[in-house]
Structure 1
């Protein structure tokens, strides 16, 4: 599995991100959907990466710089065919290593509270994230769970 920066506008990536957005719309109220679209993921200040096995897309994720010392994990998604193979853990580890390289002291994220997000909750807790309050432009929302990790 190879994780590296990639273009979110590639056809296979756009299909995965569309699937991600469709699932968010099916599980969360409209005002509680914070997933970025393809154009937002291509903006400066966001590092978008994919995990691939050769040419086969396995998953993706992004690191958004919120400030000089704070980043945010965005758009974590694994293809249905690759689930259970450690793709999300590998992508998350890559993003956290990148955050450390950039000198960020903290990385946060927002995820849903519904049962659908239970696997994501386990992943983030296993990597050392802890619950926190809203950060950045987020506000209290019963459909959002905020988590953060202090980087050493």
Structure 2
């Protein structure tokens, strides 16, 4: 398995991103959707990686720089047929390592608060993320759960 930087032009990556955005559309009201679309992932303050094995995209994740010391995890996703194989943990571990290489002291994320997102909550908590107040430009939202990790 390998991580590849900036593969947003790949149609398989775009298809997985579209699946991610459709899931967010099904599970979260419009005002509570914070997943980045293709253009958002191309922003200058966002770095995108995808995870590949044998020529097949298995998942992706991104880091958004909020400040010199604070990063945000964006758009983590694994292929639905590859879930339960530890890929989410592999992606999260990679993103944490990248944040450390950038010398961030804090890594945060926003995810949904609904049952659909409970597996993600368990993953983040397993890696030491703690529930926190909204950060950056986020505001209180009953449909959002915020997490932070001190690095």
Q: TM-score, normalised by structure 1?
A: 0.97
Cα-Cα RMSD: 0.8
After superposing on structure 2, the runs of 4+ consecutive aligned residues of structure 1 that deviate more than 6 Å are: none
Match of 1:129 in 2: 129
**Counterpart check, 1:146 vs 2:146:** yes
SS at match of 1:39: helix
**In the alignment, what sits opposite 2:58?**
58
State the Cα distance separating 1:43 from its structure 2 match: 1.7
Q: Secondary structure at the match of 1:8?
A: coil
For structure 2, the residue ranges without an aligned partner over 5 or more in a row are none
1:3 deviates by 1.9
Indicate the SS of the match to 1:139.
Answer: coil
Q: Deviations over 1:86-130 (max 9, x none)?
A: 111111111110110111000000000110001100100001100
Partner residue, 1:97: 97
* Cα distance in 1 for residues equivalent to 2:5 and 2:122: 25
> How many pairs are equivalent?
151
Runs of 5+ in structure 1 lacking a partner? none
Tell me what 2:41 maps to. Answer: 41
Residue of structure 2 in register with 1:112 after alignment: 112
Secondary structure of the corresponding residue to residue 97 of structure 1: helix
What is the rounded CA distance, in whole Å, between the counterparts of 2:4 and 2:89 in structure 1? 14
TM-score using structure 2 length:
0.97
